[in-house]
């Protein structure tokens, strides 16, 4: 049985940066332009400064200043490809902390804002960095817990022996999935991430990433262009019902 990894909002926040105070982190994230940049990176992609400037609604010089601050604080990481530089969230812990903060925003005072189709699509299914969130992500977690394939407690996750066999039969071998690139070292196998729209946990860690990647490869889900939203395909609807025991909304 795989040992559980402890976690939660405070754990995610404490792992954001090293040597930077909570007040400094809050100031970095609290700027509207920087918050928009971070939101745009929540789907796990790496974007150029120009793309992030568009999402933030600011000019190139201002964008450069924001990116320098976020990179220096180790909230963002830079990937160089030839002459081009692409920015991404530095670690899964950053994404999980941002998702937790979004859940606090969702619980705050309500402000009137017209709701569009994309809002509902995001609540139905979306990516949270490299794992699934929204009603779909929560339903997957609930289904695995109900069958005692995964056990969750206080941000920690444990894959049972039955869960290992289920995942192997489904085509996921976690022993061969050390993590995402440079972030592989020390990344928990299974942990929870508080879902901002459902306000309940979905699966994160290497298990969450493996499930998302495998479902994309199987064609059960597909990305919605220019959005973090995820669409369930007809094949996926039948597959979720047969394998996970629920029909996606």
- DSSP state for residue 240 in the 8-state scheme: I
**What stretches of 8-75 adopt beta strand conformation (E)?**
47-48
Residue 160 DSSP SS3: coil
Q: How confident is the model at residue 196 (pLDDT cuts 50, 70, 90)?
A: confident
- Predicted local distance difference test score (pLDDT) of residue 91: 86
Phi, psi of 204 (to 5 degrees): -125, -160
**What stretches of the chain adopt beta strand conformation (E)?**
47-48, 76-81, 84-89, 126-128, 131-133, 150-153, 156-159, 191-194, 201-204, 221-223, 230-232
Of 192, 29, 39, 199, nearest in space to 107 by CA: 199
Q: What angle do CA 28, 47, 185 make, to 5 degrees?
A: 75
Bridge partners for 48 per DSSP:
86
Per the listing, tokens 């992500």 go with 137
Across 4-8, 43-47, 70-74, 164-168, least confident range: 4-8
To the question of pTM greater than 0.85 for the whole model, the response is: no
- Predicted local distance difference test score (pLDDT) of residue 102: 77
C-beta separation of 19 from 168 below 8 A: no
Name the more confident of 63 and 24.
Answer: 63
Average pLDDT over residues 51-71: 92
Q: How confident is the model at residue 8 (pLDDT cuts 50, 70, 90)?
A: very low
d(CA 12, CA 32): 21
Name the more confident of 136 and 184.
Answer: 136
- Predicted local distance difference test score (pLDDT) of residue 186: 65
Q: Which residue ranges form the domains of the chain, and what is each CATH number?
A: 15-93 (1.10.10.10), 95-244 (no CATH)
| Measured torsion, CA atoms of residues 190, 192, 193, 195, in degrees rounded to the nearest 10 | 130
- DSSP state for residue 194 in the 8-state scheme: E
Determine whether 134 is exposed, middle or buried from the number of CB atoms within 10 Å of its CB (0-12, 13-18, 19+).
buried
C-beta separation of 33 from 24 below 8 A: no
d(CA 158, CA 188): 10
Q: How confident is the model at residue 15 (pLDDT cuts 50, 70, 90)?
A: low
| Rg (the chain; Cα; Å) | 18
């Amino acid at each position: 049985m795989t040992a559980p990894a402890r976690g939660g909002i405070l754990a995610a926040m404490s792992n954001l940066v090293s040597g930077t105070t909570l007040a400094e982190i809050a100031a970095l994230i609290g700027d509207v332009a920087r918050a928009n940049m971070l939101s745009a990176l929540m789907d796990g992609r790496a974007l150029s400064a120009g793309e992030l400037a568009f999402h933030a609604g600011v000019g190139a010089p201002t964008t450069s200043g924001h990116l320098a601050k976020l990179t220096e604080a180790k909230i963002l990481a830079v990937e160089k490809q030839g002459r081009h530089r692409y920015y991404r969230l530095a670690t899964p812990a950053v994404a999980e902390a941002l998702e937790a903060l979004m859940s606090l925003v969702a619980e705050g005072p309500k402000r009137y804002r017209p709701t569009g189709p994309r809002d509902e699509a995001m609540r139905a299914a979306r990516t949270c960095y490299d794992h699934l969130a929204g009603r779909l992500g929560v339903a997957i977690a609930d289904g695995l817990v109900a069958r005692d394939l995964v056990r969750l407690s206080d941000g920690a996750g444990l894959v049972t022996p039955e869960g290992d066999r289920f995942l192997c039969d489904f085509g996921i071998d976690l022993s061969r999935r050390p993590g995402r690139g440079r972030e592989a070292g020390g990344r928990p196998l299974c942990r929870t991430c508080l879902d901002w729209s459902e306000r309940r946990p979905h699966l994160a860690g290497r298990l969450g990433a493996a499930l998302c990647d495998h479902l994309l490869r199987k064609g059960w889900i597909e990305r919605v262009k220019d959005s973090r939203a995820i669409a369930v395909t007809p094949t996926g609807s039948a597959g979720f019902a047969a394998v996970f025991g629920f029909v996606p909304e």
